[in-house]
A and B are shown apart, each in its own frame.
Chain A
Amino acid sequence: MSITLISFLVPILILVVGSAYSIHILSHFYEDLFQNKEFVDSIEISKILKRSVREVRLSVLLAGLMTGVGFLSFFTSPLGPLREFGLLCTIGVAVSLFVVFIIMPPMIRLRFIKGWAPSKHNSSMQLIGLKKGDFFKFLKWLVETKSKFLIILVTVFFIFAGYQIPHLQTGMNMINFFKPDSSVFQDYDRMNTRMNGTGIVNILIESPNRGGIVDSGFIKKIDKFSFSLKEENSSVTSVQSISQFIKQMNKVMNFDSIPYETDDSEEVFIDFFSDSTNGSIFGTSENDETAYSSEGFIFEDENNFSGENSQNYEIESGLNYTQIGDLLKEALLNTQTLDPSALELIQGFNKINNYAGAAYDEIPVDPEKYGLETEEELNALISQYLILSAGKLGMVINDDLEPDKTLITIQLNDEDKETLTNVLSHINTFWDREIPAEWKYRIGGSSTVYFLLDKLIIHSQILSILGALFLVWLIITIISRSARVGFIGLLPIVFSLCGLLIAFVAGGMKLDAVTSLTASIAIGVGADYAIHVLVAYRRLSMKMDHKDILFQLYSTTGRAILMNALSVAIGFFALVLSQLIPMGVFGAMFALSMVISSMASLILIPAIFNRLDIGKLFKQDKLKIVGILD
């Protein structure tokens, strides 16, 4: 495994998860410890520690299980880095649990090996035990008096979030990871606005037959494809293919040709080693003893590609209107369009006289125009064009003489999702229709990778979120033996996801490989907090009346959750300073999800319990599994 932008987040997440577990144990321990007014010796401290660990053991284990399950859901992802991320985080959660239950208790005992005296720790007591005051009083008031209002408000919030889903933007274009004023972004922008652009889409077409690519009809299709793709997609700046080369060669080689003219001279086939055929080196009449002289070397100057000297027809001067009209009609027919531009009309006119090879600026498909008889002869002509650039066409064909694979390279000056969707749709529509039977085509290139990553990330995230939600619900349901409690446990998580969704849409932020992880983390953290609250509720409901549960819940679990959420959120918010945009978005969204999840767990679950009297349900149910764990 290698370090990626995603796996880089693993240690941070493990830090968050591990600190949450330890804070819960420590807060319970100190809460019990600070209730003592007298000196507490090390034996008593061990008892308090044991009691504290026992009280939070279930919730921490369940939270660990949930988080582990949430991370394991990344195994459904088709993307390797996300699977690696899931595996590493799951291992990290297991190690964190090990540290919290096995290593931390002896360390606490060691810390208090000489006992604890209350007078020395008054300030700590105030800090940890009593600062809850006003804020938790407010929460208590809110839950006890406004629970109906809160439930209605949350329902409206869920509906509103649902309406935002279609507006959620995705984007895996790596350049958007950089800030617009960064030099990388500026250079990229220059390449796209002043040159052909940086986006690349490749199409590899494979024929089942050796030399199958050398087919004038097929190359004509590539030419049509290139033309239509550029016509319909303004972001396509260039299409590089074998057809460009064939057209260019055809034009150059037929610079002085006359369309449909036939050459009846006999083709002389050469074999230097035969006695009977032309060119034989054994024919004595053609060789003599003075052959090493250079006098016999005769060369014609064939390096004449200038259009001015290539006229085959002379345009007569003094044409009458009828003749000019006929010429224009012919030029119009050559343009193959009903509404030609001036340039197209000139090009059509040039074709009449093959001015500068204009009549041959095409893929040869009409054998008669070239003095040939069959399509096979045309294909042979194309093979001979390929020899002309033998060794230089590796970019477009896999063999100089008998290619069976050809590559089309499309350059784009825009790699937005919409552009790529249009270009890829054009490619698929055209080649699904035009590709010969048993041939294959594949699409690749950096832009395609971005596009597919984009689709895969959304797909895998949806699967992973649904999978994780189901598993969280299943675990809470099994533990509580109540599907209703399972759903209530999900509410803070869904609330947190909705909050993130709205924040993404409102902030115009895009989901990508990094930012999409916030959803998974929101589930992990939300499940963690929900479990702590549910287990605390269960524990307290067996000891006291419902009206006293809330105060006690906020004094212990609530305080631990809030401390954990705020400290981690502040820490992560520092990521907004990152030069990489996704990291900044991740930091902000993570901080937001910590705050939302903690608040939702501390307000929403108690508010619903307040309405449904779930505390009673807990008492009746006895929770046998929980009892075993205790």
Chain B
Amino acid sequence: MTELWAITGQEIMDKSIDIQETKSTAMDIQMDLVDDKGSVSTRRLQILSMQDNNGQNRTIAVFMSPANIKNTRFLTIENSGRNDDQWIYLPSLKKMKRIAASDNDSSFMGSDFTYGDMSDMQADKDSHILLREEIYDERDCYVVESIPLDQESASRSKLISWIDKERFVPIKVEFYDKRSKALDRTAISENITLIDGIWTPLDVTMTTHSTGHKTVLSIKQVKYNIPLNPGYFSTNFLKTGRVSQ
């Protein structure tokens, strides 16, 4: 079937991931958690991330709000072939501890996003099939189905992504439940803006259909490929808030 198209599903996803890849990112994010009754709870955090020479990500995240968790910091070091390393700093105790890295399936800070959603997607973990081409939200899109190669360890049965043909940015993604195979969550990207040469969805709304709960993730500030002092990604910075000279 794939021979019918000029481009394959694999090529689309490879390109979509490649053009969004950066050496470093700085983000200021607001998450609005909206329950089924419309009640909104807001959380804000800033994230710095960069790739080391081995292509592994290092991330430091700092909570800005709510007030009782302000300045709580996480440091995550991605490891190839084994679990990530993670440390936390608790401002109330002024202490840092190494902790077990969060499960990719777990909810990210009570939101509708999982830790897996927040990490970088890897095109080689799924098989991608171009299902069709169609207009979505007035944009010409490829519709690609991604099925995990390792069904056992995967957290979902499949993804269906609407990739903008011109910008290669996913503007809609459907997540299908691992067990029931039914549509579980839907992510919609809006306000897609060119920042530092990268098309960036400034607002992403993730809706969990079974609960009616949704999370609006808004990027307030973002910088790509800026030079960052590696000292940010150290336990010393995590503990003291200061970068060693």
Chain A positions within 8 Å of B, measured between CB atoms, are 210-211, 214, 252-254, 257, 263, 265, 267-273, 278-279, 281, 285-289, 291-303, 370-372, 376-381, 383-385, 387-388, 390-392, 394, 399-402
- Residues on B with beta carbons closer than 8 Å to the beta carbon of A401: 41, 43, 66, 69, 109-110
Mask: chain B, 81-97; 1 = CB below 8 Å from A; 0 = not: 00001011011111111
Q: Which residue of B lies closest to A268 (CB)?
A: B241
Return B209 CB to nearest CB of chain A, in Å: 18
Q: Is the CB of B106 within 8 A of A267?
A: no
| A402 and B241 contact, Cβ closer than 8 Å, known pairs A273-B28, A300-B235, A384-B90 | no
Q: Which residues of B contact A265 (CB under 8 A)?
A: 94
User: B79 contacts the other chain (Cβ, under 8 Å)?
Assistant: no
Q: Is the CB of A279 within 8 A of B241?
A: yes
Do B109 and A379 have beta carbons less than 8 Å apart? no
- Tell me which of A210, A278, A372 contacts B242 (CB under 8 A): A278
- Enumerate chain A residues within 8 angstroms of B94, measured Cβ to Cβ: 263, 265, 267
The interface residues of chain A, by DSSP majority, are classed as loop
| B235 x A298 contact (CB < 8 A) | yes
The winner among B26, B33, B69, B99 for most chain A CB atoms within 10 A is B69
Q: Is the CB of A381 within 8 A of B92?
A: yes
Contact A253 B95 (CB under 8 A): yes
> In the complex, A301→B85 CA distance in Å?
11
Q: Does B199 lie at the interface of the complex (its beta carbon under 8 Å from any beta carbon of A)? A: no
Q: A379, B68: Cβ atoms under 8 Å?
A: yes
**A372-B63 in contact (CB<8A):** no
B residues 193-243 with Cβ under 8 Å of A? 221, 223, 226-237, 240-243
Bound form: Cα–Cα A15–B35 in Å: 53
Is B59 positioned at the interface, with any CB of A under 8 Å from its CB?
no
A253, B227: Cβ atoms closer than 8 Å: no
Known: A286-B229, A401-B66. A269 touches B92 (CB 8 A): no
Most interface-central of B96, B115, B241 (chain A CB within 10 A): B241
5 tightest Cβ-Cβ pairs between the two chains A and B: A391-B106, A296-B230, A268-B241, A381-B92, A380-B68
Minimum CB–CB distance from B94 to chain A (whole Å) comes to 5
CB nearest to A301 among chain B residues? B98
Which of chain B's residues has its CB closest to A397's CB?
B110
Task: Count residues on chain B whose CB falls below 8 Å from chain A CBs.
Answer: 70
Query: What is the bound-complex CA distance between A275 and B225, given in angstroms?
Result: 19
Q: When the two chains form the complex, which single residue of A281, A294, A300, A377 contacts B52, counting CB atoms closer than 8 Å?
A: A294
Nearest B residue to A281 by beta-carbon distance? B26
Q: Quick one: which of A267, A303, A390 has the most chain B CB within 10 A?
A: A390
Query: Nearest Cβ in chain A — how far from B44, in angstroms?
Result: 11
Question: For residue A300, which residues in chain B have a CB less than 8 angstroms away from its CB?
Answer: 235-236
A270 touches B62 (CB 8 A): yes
Mark B residues whose CB is within 8 Å of A. Answer: 23-24, 26, 28, 33, 39, 41, 43, 46, 48, 50-54, 58, 62-64, 66-73, 77, 85, 87-88, 90-99, 102-103, 106-110, 114-115, 221, 223, 226-237, 240-245
Given contacts A303-B98, A388-B99, contact A292 B23 (CB under 8 A): yes
Q: Which of B110, B221, B226, B231 contacts A400 (CB 8 A)?
A: B110
Of the candidates B71, B99, B108, B240, the one whose C-beta lies within 8 Å of that of A269 is B71
**Pair A271/B64 contact, Cβ less than 8 Å:** yes
Shortest C-beta distance, B3 to chain A (Å), equals 41
Q: Counting chain B CB atoms within 10 Å of each CB, which of A271, A278, A281, A371 scores highest?
A: A281
CA distance A482 to B156 in the complex (A): 75
Q: Is the CB of A294 within 8 A of B53?
A: yes
Q: Can you pick out 27 interface pairs between chain A and chain B where the beta carbons lie within 8 Å of each other?
A: A252-B97, A253-B90, A257-B93, A265-B94, A267-B241, A270-B62, A270-B241, A272-B28, A272-B48, A273-B28, A273-B221, A278-B241, A279-B232, A281-B26, A287-B227, A287-B228, A291-B50, A291-B227, A293-B53, A296-B231, A297-B234, A298-B231, A299-B77, A387-B72, A388-B88, A391-B107, A401-B41
Query: Closest Cβ of chain A: how far from B230's Cβ, in Å?
Result: 3
Q: Which of A270, A289, A295 has the most CB of B within 10 A?
A: A270
Q: Which residue of B lies closest to A291 (CB)?
A: B227
- B88 near A387 with CB under 8 A, answer yes
Least CB distance from A406 to B in Å reads: 14
Known: A302-B98, A392-B103. A267 touches B71 (CB 8 A): yes
Residues of B within 8 A of A289 (CB): 227
In the complex the two chains form, is A281's CB within 8 Å of B223's CB?
Answer: yes
- Give the CA-CA distance A29 to B231 in the complex, in Å: 106
**B230 partner residues in chain A, CB cutoff 8 A:** 291, 293-297
Q: Cβ of A381: which chain B residues have Cβ within 8 Å of it?
A: 90, 92-93
Q: Which of A289, A385, A400 has the most CB of B within 10 A?
A: A400
Question: Which of chain A's residues have a CB closer than 8 A to the CB of B88?
Answer: 387-388
CB atoms of B235 and A400 under 8 A apart: no
Known: A287-B227, A292-B23. A380 touches B92 (CB 8 A): yes
How far is A257 from B107 in the complex, measured between Cα atoms in Å?
Answer: 31
Check if B102 sits within 8 Å of A391, measured CB to CB. yes
In the bound assembly, the distance between CA atoms of A268 and B71 in angstroms comes to 8
Cβ–Cβ contact B97 & A302, under 8 A: yes
Given A295-B230, A297-B230, A384-B68, 8 additional A-B pairs, CB 8 A: A211-B66, A252-B97, A270-B71, A286-B243, A287-B229, A298-B236, A301-B98, A370-B93
Q: Give min CB distance, A502 to chain B, whole Å.
A: 53
How far does the alpha carbon of A299 sit from the alpha carbon of B75 in the complex, in Å?
10
Among B43, B92, B243, point to the contact of A370 (Cβ < 8 A): B92
Q: A394: which B residues are within 8 A, CB to CB?
A: 107
Contact B115 A391 (CB under 8 A): yes
Q: Contact: B73 with A270, CB < 8 Å?
A: yes
